[in-house]
C-alpha cells in the first residue's frame, strides 16, 4: 500500500496545532475556544511560527494567505486541512464538490495532480471555524491530543 502523503500531512497539522496550543498554555476547552481561535489565526501564527507555512512569509511587502479571498484579519489556520477535503487518495478531492476548487499539477504522486482549494472560502473564516469547533468539539480534542 502506498503512503498517503495528504492524510499524513493532515494528522501532522493537528499534532502541530495541539503542541503549539500547549506551548502557549492554552488548554483546548469549550471556554477557551476564543483563545484557540486567536492563537490559530493567520495573523498570530504568521508572527509566532513563521517557518510553519510558506504563506507566513512576507510577499511583496505584505502577508498573503493561501486563500486570498478571505481577509487576513478574519482568517483562521486551525482547519488548514479542510473537513471537506477528502485525503483518502493521493490526489485528494472535495467531499462537497465545491466549484471553487480545481486540480493542480504536481510531480509527487502517481496521478500527477492534487485538489487545490485555494479559491475556496469554506472553513477558514473565524466564524466558520468557531461553529465547526463547537459542533465537533470531542473529535477535535482527541485529534489534538494524539
Question: In the chain, what are the domain boundaries?
Answer: 5-145
Instruction: Out of 6-10, 11-15, 25-29, 53-57, give the one with best mean pLDDT.
Output: 25-29
List, for residues 100-137, the tens digit of each pLDDT value.
888 888 887 788 888 888 888 777 788 889 999 999 99
Whether the pLDDT of residue 28 is over 80: the answer is yes
pLDDT at position 60, please?
Answer: 67
Ranges of H-type helices in 1-136: 5-23, 33-39, 42-48, 126-135
Name the band, by pLDDT with cuts 50, 70 and 90, for residue 39. very high
Strands (E), the chain: 58-59, 62-63, 85-86, 93-94, 102-105, 113-116
C-alpha cell at position 11 = 494528522
pLDDT at position 57, please?
Answer: 76
Of the candidates 90, 79, 71, 96, the one whose C-alpha atom is nearest the C-alpha of residue 135 is 79
Angle at 51 between CA 134 and CA 74, to 5 degrees: 40
Amino acid at each position: 500500500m502506498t503512503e498517503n502523503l495528504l492524510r499524513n500531512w493532515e494528522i501532522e497539522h493537528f499534532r502541530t496545532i495541539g503542541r503549539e496550543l500547549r506551548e502557549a498554555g492554552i488548554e483546548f476547552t469549550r471556554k477557551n475556544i476564543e483563545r484557540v481561535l486567536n492563537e490559530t489565526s493567520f495573523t498570530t501564527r504568521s508572527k509566532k511560527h513563521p517557518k510553519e507555512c510558506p504563506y507566513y512569509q512576507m510577499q511583496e511587502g505584505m502577508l498573503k494567505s493561501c486563500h486570498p479571498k478571505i481577509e487576513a484579519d478574519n482568517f483562521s489556520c486551525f482547519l488548514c486541512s479542510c473537513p471537506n477535503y477528502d485525503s483518502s487518495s493521493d490526489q485528494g478531492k472535495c467531499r462537497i464538490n465545491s466549484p471553487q476548487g480545481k486540480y493542480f499539477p504536481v510531480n509527487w504522486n502517481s496521478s500527477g495532480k492534487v485538489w487545490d482549494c485555494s479559491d475556496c472560502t469554506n472553513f477558514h473564516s473565524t466564524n466558520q471555524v468557531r461553529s465547526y469547533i463547537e459542533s465537533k468539539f470531542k473529535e477535535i480534542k482527541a485529534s489534538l491530543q494524539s
